[in-house]
Chain A
Amino acid sequence: MLISVTVNGQERTADVEPRTLLCYLVRDELSLTGTHVGCDTTSCGACTVLLDGVPVKSCTVLAVQVDGQELMTVEGLEQAGDLHPLQKGFWESHGLQCGFCTPGMLMTTYALLERNPDPTEDEIRRAISGNLCRCTGYQNIVKAVQYAAPLVREKREAAREVAR
């Protein structure tokens, strides 16, 4: 079945079997291997991508379901060589050890900061409760998001200034 999706701003088409999962469309057909497949059982959240701006577990969505929709993967965070504040936060705050959960953590927290640019620690922890880290790095993941939040707010302010 021929489907077309907008991935990180680019229109892409692919011919997929109905049973193809979204995560395999992203990795195998679109060659965007930043999205990881961890548990493959809707538990770990490593495969999280944004579907029309909403974070979902891409191992539990069929590729054919997203025909015509907009996807954002971890590859879409960096803009013109500039890391997203969250990526800087994970770097600066040691928000990862093995890095396997990181793409999912980034996409989930990206959506969090879009909705709520000034989250409390509790709100951050609740937001990532569907993303598992087995290096027990939650402490630093929370710090990474706290590092990024004011930068995201500044960026928004700056964008607003320009618009003015």
Chain B
Amino acid sequence: MFPNAFEYQSPTSLDEAVALLVEHGYEAKILAGGQSLLPMMKLRVAAPTVLVDLGRVPGLDARTENDRELSLGAMTRHASLEWDEDLWARYPLLRETAAWIADPLVRNRGTMAGSLAHADPAADWGAALLALHGSVTVDGPNGSRRVGADDFFVDVFTTRLEPDEVLTAVHIPRPEHDVFATHLKLERKVGDFAVVAVSLQVEIDGDGRIRRPGIGLAGVGPTSLHATAAASLLEGQPLSLELIREAAAKASAATDPASDRRGSADFKRDMVRLFVERGLRSIESRFDEGRRRSA
């Protein structure tokens, strides 16, 4: 199998990349890790006439961190988030999520930003970015802009990105308190897209109260979903079984899954409830254990 013929462009600066997108518009596609785009092109589901490879644009694999946030360049591959121990303590959800994506070989090549721009509603990173209250930098002919995760996903495979724009970086706010995270995923086989996935992150302050909770959902709507009603229920509260169950029910009610070969809508909705409950309970027990140890 091989793709339709196309023109290959390998710009060596971001300006050059944007100029190519301006010139070719909808005919052009950006190539980063290629782990979704190339399979689609081989199946002829996608047939761009121009490919703009970001692989030789310097600086796009950069990682910077200040006291407000972590910024990951567009060429940051899944595997680097899975294996970089330096990030685990402050940004545990990155590792929790990365380890669930496809398989180790695909993770060596695919990128987080590429997955976000591709915007498959069943993808893991979309749910994680929402749970992290993250944002992305988008560069285009009119300069650079920030788009928050809650605003970024528009519809199936559709984001706020214009055809002449490049997603150049992903930003994640630095936690201010102890941070707990988990990513739960139901898949038919190793490496598959999620039937349902739930990405959870909460911070817990010195009084044991939840701060900045995030609950991202995959596979249960036309886009990655943020269960904001469920999350705001948690804000400022100590974790308790009753609260967890209430939040899980609220998260489940926020979904809009379709019945398909992977399961009925009812089943998926219930899996969201189960995963939110299971995830928050595991966070609760880790928090309690940490407390006992430090007491």
Contacts and interface: CB of A to CB of B under 8 A. Distances in A.
A164 interface: no
Interface stretch (A38-46, A71-79, A139-147, A151-159): A38-46
Given A19-B6, A41-B1, A60 B104 contact: no
Contacts of A40: 1, 42
Given A18-B6, A19-B3, A130 B102 contact: yes
Given A18-B8, A64-B10, A42 B2 contact: no
B60 interface: no
Contacts of A61: 34, 38, 109
Interface residues of A, number: 28
A5 interface: no
B264 interface: no
Interface string A54-88: 11110011101100000000000000000000000
Contact of A129 (B34, B35, B103): B103
B35 A60 contact: yes
Interface string B28-59: 00010011001101110000000101010000
Interface size class of chain B, counting residues whose CB lies under 8 Å from the partner chain:
20 to 34
Interface string B1-38: 11111111010000000000000000000010011001
Given A41-B39, A130-B191, A21 B8 contact: no
21 contacts: A18-B7, A18-B8, A19-B41, A20-B2, A41-B1, A42-B38, A54-B79, A54-B108, A55-B108, A56-B109, A60-B38, A62-B34, A65-B34, A108-B104, A129-B103, A129-B104, A129-B190, A130-B102, A130-B104, A130-B106, A130-B191
Interface of B: 1-8, 10, 31, 34-35, 38-39, 41-43, 51, 53, 55, 79, 102-106, 108-109, 190-191
